[in-house]
Chains A and B, each alone.
Chain A
Amino acid sequence: MDLIIFTLAVLDGLAYASQVFMVAVGMTLIFGVMRILNIAHGGFYAIGAYLSAGIGLAIASAGLSPWLHLPALVIGAAMAGGVLGLVIERFVLRYIYVKEEVLQLLVTFAIFMILEDVQRLVFGVQPYAASSLVDAMGTINVLGIPYNAYQVLLLPGVAVLTLVGLRWFLHHTLLGHLITATAEDREAATAMGVNANRVFLLTFTIGTVLAALGGAFAAPTTAVQLGMGADMIVLSFAVVVTAGLGQVEGAAVTAVLIGLGRSFAIYLMPELDVLMPYFIMMLVLLVRPNGLFGTVQTRKI
């Protein structure tokens, strides 16, 4: 493998990593704070994607500048994710925190299936594509290979912004401190006067907004279609486990590992492509059973 090929593979890997991070970071946050494996995450991702594609198509048919798609998709995804997150946490999840994990899993799975049917009802079965934003941003040449600027500049930029923003929010704001405290020890935090219900509502809503954003940013690069959410659940779960439960930085590192692993697999042994996320997960868990950034949980009696 010469240096050119190596560089190209790294670039492909990083572009893919930023997509993976955007998909998985919301699930990581929710799992870390609420200890709920949120299967509905894939549904929020798909809703965000459909909405973004819908907005993109509306902008294109109205003859407006494709650049409008960028702010519109952020606002649209934030609103859809926000509303969905608030409603589902307040009226469904709140009643199952004390229940068995299996039940929690089933409930979020049910939400996922309902959302999938909603997509079918609203958008039908045909794939939609709204790629005018990607076209408008054009391509940049790297070593003679044209790359979409959207994928190698914008998406990694958004991923880094998200990571930095979340870090700042969790470590440098009062709300963030409340969330980390509740994640660390819910009982102690409640005893200190933290309203855990409100923290959960906030966390879940942030997670949902992030999922919808992940879908919204993916939409211009791909056709949105039925079933697109299901794949994301498994991938996100692999990231969550590899990162260490609730570790946002871990999710970023894992996403980069998975992205690079995948692109090098495609360059060297394409047959290994689908295995890479799980292969990486297995390697990491063999060496660090609590994940890359995970800590040993003390069991409270």
Chain B
Amino acid sequence: MMGTSNPLRPLGRAFLAGVCALGIGTAGAADKPEQIDIGISAFLSGPASVFGEPARAAAEIMAERINANGGIHGVPVNLSFIDEGAGSAHLLSEYRRLVQSEDYDVMFASISSGNCLKVAPLAEDLEVINLMWDCGTQRVFEEGDYNYVFRTQANATPEMLASVLYLLKTHPDFETIAVVNQDYAWGRDSWNIFRTALQTLKPDVEVVAEFFPKFGTPDFSTEITRLLAMRPDVVLSTSWGGDLDNFVRQAKQRGLDERSTLVLPLAESSLERLGEDMPTGAIVGARGDHYYAHPGYADDEKFNEFVSSFREKTGNVPIYSAFHMVQAFDALQAAYDRAIEANGGEWPDTEALADAFEGLSFRGATSEITIRPADHQGLEDQMLGTAKQVEGKDIAELCDITVFPAEAITTPAGEDSTEWLKGLSADLLDTDVTTYPGCH
């Protein structure tokens, strides 16, 4: 699908067409390679492999499907994975090796925000196209300007802002909030964004406690006792993986969910593991609009085919990191389509491919995403819902699902998220959203 947001695009195309017609040469064209080599970084070890392994499975499904259909314009794709769990030094040296020694064409990196901030300048240095397929940090494009780096999904700001909006829509009268986040960049940054948005939209809310237990804390009982005694109306946790599972399970065992509303913006990725331990009434987010039982795509062929092939391959339902991987592949395919068309059918070189990403619109398994030409940020809708245990099902359903449109909740290009959030108006709550009543 073509984007129309780059006004220079038709000019460039006309120019290229002219050049080709004159037979001067093929600027932006390159020889068709034997295969497209894609380097993918993801956590394949350590606690964050709960995201990396599903993403790898999704990548393999996508690559198989592309190659079974004859590749991208006849060129098959070849994947190589870098384990982020081995540390950033390893990631950066492997990244360099793949691009410089092995001539990899495109890189997908990475999961960890810290790694994303290091990979972006490296990709720029190496002049290789890098798709930020899963990074959370909003800082990459707010603090830097890149030619070769694109994000095929949202970032922490719309993710947290949508969570705040959903909370305010469903629980307009709450007065107090406490937070239990992991003590590292994501836990701290996401809380800053959430708090800034919340205090702008509802200034009378009181923050009664802030806990940042160590990453990988197995036992939250002391924090939970404290929360049980304080009875805040809302308890937020942006934790993920085993940490989130532990916090939610221990909270439910002791009835914290009966005293406070749990807000869990990443819990879509824990739904299946938590099973019956996911408390009814908890607010669940999905870092985008991904949910294996998304009611908006119940009859969508592409969505259903992906969900069922993922379940067949892994035995699990796909979580957001798997959907993010699909988006990276679909963005790549759409960019090649667009670049080849702009090139008059010739295979694009790196510059021409990079041009094609600016303003590109594409569809992963769920709603359409546009890559903003100004700062390369992806505009991805955000979905939230409320968990409910259903008799006879071993995974909680999501009820009252609301999808927030990306444009309304994403920091405008060139602006700083914190400043932008401070200037929000309560009108934002009246933005048109898509709602799906009932449980799914």
Tell whether A262 pairs with B228 under 8 Å between CB atoms, given A127-B273, A227-B47: no
Tell whether A223 pairs with B254 under 8 Å between CB atoms, given A231-B216, A271-B212: no
| Cβ B47 vs Cβ A267 within 8 A | no
Chain B residue at minimum C-beta to C-beta distance from A143 = B229
| Cβ B229 vs Cβ A223 within 8 A | no
Chain B hits for A129, CB < 8 A? 245-246, 249, 273, 277
Question: CA–CA, A131 to B254, complex, Å?
Answer: 13
| Cβ A151 vs Cβ B221 within 8 A | yes
Chain A hits for B212, CB < 8 A? 270-271
| Cβ A223 vs Cβ B221 within 8 A | no
| Cβ A8 vs Cβ B225 within 8 A | yes
| Cβ A120 vs Cβ B241 within 8 A | no
Q: Is A5 an interface residue (CB 8 A)?
A: yes
| Cβ A148 vs Cβ B253 within 8 A | yes
* B137–chain A nearest beta-carbon distance, Å: 22
| Cβ A148 vs Cβ B221 within 8 A | yes
Binds B, one of A12-20, A85-93, A166-174, A190-198: A12-20
Chain B residue at minimum C-beta to C-beta distance from A124 = B53
Q: List 15 A-B contacts (CB under 8 A).
A: A5-B229, A8-B225, A8-B229, A15-B221, A125-B44, A127-B47, A127-B273, A139-B253, A144-B229, A145-B254, A147-B225, A227-B216, A231-B214, A267-B226, A271-B212
Chain B hits for A15, CB < 8 A? 221
Q: Is A146 an interface residue (CB 8 A)?
A: yes
Q: Is A126 an interface residue (CB 8 A)?
A: yes
Contacts A8-B226, A12-B225, A127-B273 given; 10 further ones with Cβ under 8 A? A5-B229, A19-B219, A124-B53, A126-B273, A131-B249, A145-B225, A145-B254, A223-B242, A225-B242, A262-B222
Question: CA–CA, A221 to B216, complex, Å?
Answer: 14
Select which of A8, A225, A273 is within 8 A of B47 by beta carbon.
A225
Give the interface centre of A5, A125, A129 by most chain B CB atoms within 10 Å.
A125
Question: CA–CA, A148 to B225, complex, Å?
Answer: 11
Chain A residue at minimum C-beta to C-beta distance from B211 = A270
A103-152: which have CB < 8 Å to B? 120, 124-127, 129, 131, 134-135, 139, 144-148, 151
| Cβ B183 vs Cβ A274 within 8 A | yes
The A contact surface, by secondary structure, is helix
Please classify how large the interface on chain A is, using the bins under 10, 10 to 19, 20 to 34, 35 or more: 35 or more
Q: Is A266 an interface residue (CB 8 A)?
A: yes
A15-58: which have CB < 8 Å to B? 15-16, 19
* B327–chain A nearest beta-carbon distance, Å: 22
Q: Is B345 an interface residue (CB 8 A)?
A: no
Chain A hits for B254, CB < 8 A? 139, 145-148
B238-257: which have CB < 8 Å to A? 241-242, 245-246, 249-250, 253-255
* A139–chain B nearest beta-carbon distance, Å: 6
- Size of B's binding interface in residues, CB under 8 A: 36
Select which of A125, A134, A228, A274 is within 8 A of B53 by beta carbon.
A125
| Cβ A222 vs Cβ B225 within 8 A | no
Q: Is A218 an interface residue (CB 8 A)?
A: yes
* A115–chain B nearest beta-carbon distance, Å: 14
| Cβ A263 vs Cβ B222 within 8 A | yes
| Cβ A221 vs Cβ B228 within 8 A | no
Chain B hits for A134, CB < 8 A? 253
* B395–chain A nearest beta-carbon distance, Å: 14
Question: CA–CA, A146 to B225, complex, Å?
Answer: 8
Chain B hits for A262, CB < 8 A? 222
Q: Is A257 an interface residue (CB 8 A)?
A: no
| Cβ B222 vs Cβ A222 within 8 A | no
Question: CA–CA, A147 to B224, complex, Å?
Answer: 10
* A58–chain B nearest beta-carbon distance, Å: 16
Q: Is A74 an interface residue (CB 8 A)?
A: no
Question: CA–CA, A226 to B242, complex, Å?
Answer: 9
Chain A hits for B246, CB < 8 A? 129, 222-223
Q: Is B46 an interface residue (CB 8 A)?
A: yes
| Cβ A16 vs Cβ B219 within 8 A | yes
Question: CA–CA, A262 to B44, complex, Å?
Answer: 32
Chain B hits for A231, CB < 8 A? 214, 216, 218
Q: Is B210 an interface residue (CB 8 A)?
A: yes
* A277–chain B nearest beta-carbon distance, Å: 11
* B233–chain A nearest beta-carbon distance, Å: 18
| Cβ A226 vs Cβ B277 within 8 A | no
| Cβ A145 vs Cβ B253 within 8 A | no
Select which of B47, B222, B241 is within 8 A of A266 by beta carbon.
B222
Chain B residue at minimum C-beta to C-beta distance from A137 = B253
Select which of A126, A146, A226 is within 8 A of B228 by beta carbon.
A146
